[in-house]
């Protein structure tokens, strides 16, 4: 049966006068059937490279789709072979700036997928991308445009640089030939050739932030009836399964992870608890892998409080509840302390890092908190400021020298 979802087309581009040099991006969103432009945008980026500008244009177009129809089937068209192949997962991303932008673009694409839509990437010849190229010239000329022309939310209508030029025409050369100078073209070609002849970066290079990072995506399980009822649910409790809402969250997380990976290979590791294993199965299915269980990713064991109602504990045991939250050494009878939880989670995290590549870990709120406090050096009295909603994704990269980059947290 044909899809009943709306079909949209993104045309995106970016350029740099100097590469790196004065940079800007441009993008537009069309209705795929009528060809009518629904949104167009542009912005300056300061001193950046061509590829950073091109990724920025793609991200702007994807974010515009969220405003127009988040559940649409989207085709992103660009004349950058590098960006298209990297987003499709066929080429590796070696440069840190582009790696961060690619993660952001995949995150927005995952939001579209979670809303029921899809995103694909298509390379087009430069002469077929002239409208986006003209908008990127506007960006390089210092203009910021966020113009919704139809079927949008009405936010940001018109040209926002205050120069009164709201027709989208550029004062600069918009034939696509002058704003990417010879040096810039050579750099882009060199990057493309590098990806083609050396798709595997090989051994890690020396120095900070170099080499190939290990990528880790942390996924919190979907909700159970215990979650809804605000009951403590640790590794020593009754181990409830996902309820209907939790199953939907798990499926959405699976779609989001698949889009985030963009076809790149990954492992899936889950805690031993039912809700994590069920969510892990939903995450593993779209990427065609078999999950591996590691019980060190289990939730904290709350001992005699497993299954207890949190509102009842607030009423009847406020002092003990405060101690359990504030004191990392506090232990309930038959349970474990936060310090004991953190020790096993960090050990599991270190094993994932040592494995290299990309691993998706499906676990629980407190293990996710433990990882983030470990890599960011957050003190225990600030730990509860970290949110991890059911079904949400958190992504980070660990570099060979031990540097860590947290790409995003609590995205759903």
**Residues known to be catalytic:** 221, 299
Residue 299 phi, psi (nearest 5):
-65, 165
Tokens found for residue 27: 């993008």
Helix (H, G, I), strand (E, B) or coil at 72: coil
Q: How far apart are CA 218 and CA 260, in angstroms?
A: 12
Alpha carbon separation from 391 to 19, 224, 278, 375, 409 (Å, rounded): 40, 11, 12, 22, 12
CA nearest to 16, candidates 140, 125, 110: 140
Helix (H) or strand (E) holding 7: strand 7-17
Q: How far apart are CA 329 and CA 333, in angstroms?
A: 13
Beta bridge partners of 11: 28, 77
CA nearest to 263, candidates 141, 78, 67, 119: 119
Q: How far apart are CA 9 and CA 292, in angstroms?
A: 38
Helix (H, G, I), strand (E, B) or coil at 317: coil
> For residues 112 and 74, is the Cβ–Cβ distance under 8 A?
yes
Q: 393-398 and 404-411 as β-strands: parallel, antiparallel, unpaired?
A: antiparallel
Q: How far apart are CA 110 and CA 241, in angstroms?
A: 25
> For residues 274 and 240, is the Cβ–Cβ distance under 8 A?
yes
What sign does the CA torsion over 55, 250, 5, 65 have? Answer: negative
Q: How far apart are CA 202 and CA 195, in angstroms?
A: 12
Q: How far apart are CA 318 and CA 320, in angstroms?
A: 6
Alpha carbon separation from 231 to 42, 237, 310, 334 (Å, rounded): 48, 10, 6, 17
Beta bridge partners of 359: 216, 267
Q: How many CA atoms lie within 13 A of 160 on its CB side?
A: 14
Q: Is the peptide bond before 20 cis (omega within 30 degrees of 0)?
A: yes
């Amino acid at each position: 049966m044909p899809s009943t979802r709306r079909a949209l087309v993104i045309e995106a581009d970016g350029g740099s006068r100097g590469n790196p040099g004065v940079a800007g991006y441009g993008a537009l969103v069309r209705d795929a059937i009528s060809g009518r432009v629904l949104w167009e945008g542009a912005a300056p980026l300061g001193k950046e490279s061509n590829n950073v500008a091109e990724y920025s244009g793609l991200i702007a177009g994807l974010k515009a789709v969220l405003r127009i129809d988040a559940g649409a089937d989207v085709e992103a068209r660009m004349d950058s072979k590098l960006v298209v192949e990297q987003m499709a997962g066929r080429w590796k991303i070696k440069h840190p700036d582009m790696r961060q932008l690619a993660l952001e673009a995949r995150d927005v694409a995952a939001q579209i997928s979670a809303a029921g839509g899809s995103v694909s990437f298509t390379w087009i010849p430069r002469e077929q991308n002239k409208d986006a190229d003209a908008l990127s010239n506007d960006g390089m000329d210092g203009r910021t445009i966020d113009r919704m022309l139809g079927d949008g939310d009405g936010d940001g209508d018109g040209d926002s640089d205050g120069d009164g030029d709201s027709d989208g025409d550029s004062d600069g050369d918009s034939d696509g030939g002058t704003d990417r100078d010879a040096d810039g073209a050579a750099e882009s070609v060199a990057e493309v050739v590098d990806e083609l002849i050396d798709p595997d970066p090989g051994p890690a290079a020396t120095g900070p932030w170099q080499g190939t990072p290990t990528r880790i995506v942390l996924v919190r399980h979907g909700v159970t009836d215990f979650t809804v009822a605000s009951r403590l649910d640790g590794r020593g409790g009754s181990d409830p399964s996902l309820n209907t809402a939790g199953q939907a969250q798990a499926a959405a997380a699976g779609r989001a992870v698949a889009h985030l990976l963009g076809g790149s290979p990954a492992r899936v590791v889950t805690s031993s608890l039912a809700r994590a294993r069920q969510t892990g199965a939903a995450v593993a299915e779209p990427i065609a892998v078999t999950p591996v269980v590691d019980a060190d990713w289990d939730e904290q064991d709350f001992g005699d409080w497993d299954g207890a109602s949190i509102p009842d504990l607030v009423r009847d045991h406020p002092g003990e509840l405060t101690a359990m939250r504030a004191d990392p050494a506090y232990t309930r009878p038959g349970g474990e302390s936060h310090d004991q939880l953190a020790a096993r989670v960090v050990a599991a995290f270190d094993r994932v890092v040592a494995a290299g590549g990309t691993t998706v870990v499906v676990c629980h709120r407190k293990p996710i908190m433990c990882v983030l406090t470990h890599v960011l050096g957050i003190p225990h009295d600030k730990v509860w400021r970290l949110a991890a909603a059911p079904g949400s994704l958190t992504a980070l990269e660990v570099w060979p020298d031990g540097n860590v980059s947290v790409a995003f947290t609590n995205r759903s």
